[in-house]
Amino acid sequence: MDFYIIAKELLTQYYIINPEIKFIRHNENITYKITDSESNKSYLLRVHKPSLEGLFGIQHTLKGIRSEIEILQKLKHKGLLHFQKPVTNKLGEYVTEYKLDNYNHPCYATVLEWIEGDTLTLKENDVNKIAYNLGQNLALFHTSLKEFKPSEDFLRPNYDADRIDIVIDELKYCVEVNLFSIEHYDIIKKVLITVKNQINELNTRPNTFGIIHADMQLGNIVLNNGNPCIIDFAFCGFGYYFFDLGSAVTVFPSELRQTFLQGYSSKASFTFDDVRFIEGQIFMDIFISYPLFMKDPKRNTWIRDSAMRVCDTLCQDFLEGKEVLYLL
């Protein structure tokens, strides 16, 4: 697959003059940094075709991509965050169809504005301030979309109790191919059932469920003039705000996690009494990631190490009601 040719052909459909093309990676999407030689403005070009079959989801369909754009447009309207705004093609559309060779289904491409800066490394001098500010920005993201009313055709992934049921069934495959033991599977199942019970409780409480980012990790946090900007909404969908809090808090070492949560609580409703819900969503995040890679022998070996590390102590402590937030 010639990534340069793909990008060059796609960019003929955009008002970008003499583009400089830099391939970034092929993971959940094929991504490039594009620089307009005339304006010196940069963009992110995404071709929505994952590198692995397990990574494919409704977020790669036309409805799914248009729904992501709908979320970004709502964020733009609110104007509270610095994020990657979508760019239209020459037809005034946000999604461009593209036919990849040796690929039966149509692929779709989108262009977003580029955010200058470096991804978070945790080696920054002001990492305490960054942790606090990231908590604030995540809270602003959640609150900006609390009143979001999706269109009739809106379609994005769901990170709910039904997702847990699906994953419990899918993870039997890991036992079949010896990625982890039946004993570890039973522990994972018990944890996920406990998380389902937590979800049942969360469903009785207001303002716990909505649009979430669903992929808070170091690579998706860019420092722009010191401001930790959240990027890459490819996996965003419906879920519990604690899910984002869980994945984001584990970005930081244990001594910074309370600082991050304090930042979040300064802009959104949160109490430290709810730490156990965050822990449950962290386990959910870990275990729903296994099926994405489990059928690729070149990229699934980390699952074995992860399951062994998490199941042997942390899961057991969680099931016994012990606090594990600062150990995960």
pLDDT surpassing 70 at residue 104 = no
User: Same domain for 35 and 161?
Assistant: no
pLDDT tens digits for range 254-267: 999 999 999 999 99
pLDDT tens for each residue of 282-297: 999 999 999 999 999 9
pLDDT in tens, 126-166: 999 999 999 999 999 999 999 999 999 999 999 999 999 99
* Residues 164-182 pLDDT 10s: 999 999 999 999 999 999 9
Q: For residues 138 and 97, state if they share a domain.
A: no
Which DSSP state fits 52?
S
86, part of any domain: yes
Look up residue 219 and give its DSSP letter: G
Q: Residues 214, 217, 223, 226: is their CA dihedral positive or negative?
A: positive
Residue 40 region by backbone torsions, left for phi larger than 0, else alpha for psi between -120 and 50, else beta: left
171 shares a domain with 55:
no
User: Which alpha helices (DSSP H) does 48-181 contain, by range?
Assistant: 62-78, 127-144, 161-170, 172-176
- Listed in sequence order, the residues at least 6 apart from 12 whose beta carbon sits closer than 8 Å to its beta carbon are none
CATH number where 62 lies: 3.30.200.20
In-domain check, residue 209 = yes
Are residue 87 and residue 157 in the same domain, yes or no? Answer: no
pLDDT at 100: 75
Is the same domain home to 180 and 38? no
How much is the average pLDDT of 298-312? 95
Give a yes or no: residue 195 inside a domain: yes
Which CATH number characterizes residue 244's domain? 3.90.1200.10
Answer yes or no: do 107 and 173 share one domain. no
Residues 178 and 108 in one domain: no
As a whole-number percent, the residues of the chain with pLDDT over 90 amount to 92
Q: Are residues 204 and 303 in the same domain?
A: yes
Q: Give the end of a domain, one of 88, 114, 140.
A: 114
Range of the domain at 135: 127-319
Statement: residue 103 has pLDDT above 80: no
Give Cβ neighbours of residue 254 (< 8 Å, ≥ 6 apart): 326, 327
Domain boundary among 83, 114, 145: 114
Question: Is 101 found in the same domain as 162?
Answer: no
Measured CA to CA, the distance from residue 263 to residue 307 in angstroms comes to: 31
- Quote the number of domains for the chain: 2
Same domain as 288, residue 193: yes
Do residue 106 and residue 133 come from a single domain?
no
Q: Cα 274 to the chain's mean position, in Å?
A: 22
Within a domain: 41: yes
Position 81 confidence tier, pLDDT thresholds 50, 70, 90 = very high
Looking at 114, 140, 173, the residue that finishes a domain is 114
Tell me: do 159 and 211 sit in the same domain.
Answer: yes
| 9 in a structural domain | yes
Q: Is residue 122 part of a domain?
A: no
Q: Is 328 part of a structural domain of the chain?
A: no
**Rounded-to-integer distance, Cα 6 and Cα 56, Å:** 20
